[in-house]
Amino acid sequence: MSVPKPITDFPALPMYFVNFDSVGLFPQINSQNLGLMAAGISRHPDDLFPAVLLTPLDYKKPSPSDPGGVSIRVQRQHGNTDIASRTFYLHLPPRISRAETLVAQVKFDLPDAFTQTDPSAPEVPSNSKWAVGLNFKDGTQDDLTSDLIIVGPTCHFVANGQPRLNNTNTTDPPAPTSSYANYRAQRTSFRLTVRVIRTLKAGSGDASLEVGTASGTAVQYGALDPPIPSDDFTGKDFTQVGIAIVNIGPPTTILRARLQSFKLWMNP
């Protein structure tokens, strides 16, 4: 059995790079003069919470070596049962959206799922399923059911917070079972990379998920599943690429993850 490998065959420097350590969306690298990433709303139309609050971090840097980032919460209004999400998307102009190959990557840490009766009450761990996704899609920076094209492998958290690469055909074993408390204590990092390759008549893609600690890195790799239908891209472009933190569990569960960085390459 071959050892799964992350997607790494692209240049060290991306064409677009955002370091969320600055608690903002201003890119540190932007060689194609693209705009800022935009914060999107939840897909649930009745969710009146602000889309994304870029506030001081929930988790301060405990040491100079801590990567920092911006901590994002996803919480639904009481009674809402539909999928809810918090999103950051980068608009792609035609010269980028029609590129043959695009590679995107998100790095995050401190995933958490919990319930809480009020803001001052203790956080109670939850086993609800949820995901951090990396999407190529049409439409706007909002995740809506009206979106016609979406390619979105995810880091899917299942029981006890075990991460798995989802929406691919991977047969690689997931990272060893752990817990949200251990991810925090061991400073576990998560890196999701997605590549799409398109021609006029066909499309393909793959993804890799790296879950790493000081003791080593577990990798899952797979082709996009199901395969991208070639007619999805006939006369159409990806107009957005970005990150979605998705709550698919019970409405009482609150999710949190700390975004560290987002990168994009074109025709690497």
Q: Give the pLDDT confidence of 21-69 residue by residue, as tens digits.
A: 766 688 999 999 999 998 886 554 444 444 444 444 444 555 667 777 7
Structure tokens at 205: 């893609």
Q: Which of 214, 196, 193, 194 lies closest to 205 in space, CA to CA?
A: 196
The residues facing 100 across adjacent strands are none
The pLDDT assigned to 5 comes to: 66
Instruction: For 16-266, give the CATH class.
Output: mainly beta
The pLDDT assigned to 33 comes to: 95
Q: Which residue ranges in the chain fall short of pLDDT 50? A: 1-3, 44-59
The pLDDT assigned to 31 comes to: 95
Query: Where exactly are the structural domains of the chain?
Result: 16-266
* Strand 101-115 versus strand 254-266 pairing type: antiparallel
The pLDDT assigned to 139 comes to: 86
How many CA atoms does the CB half-sphere of 101 hold within 13 Å? 9
Name the pTM for this structure: 0.89
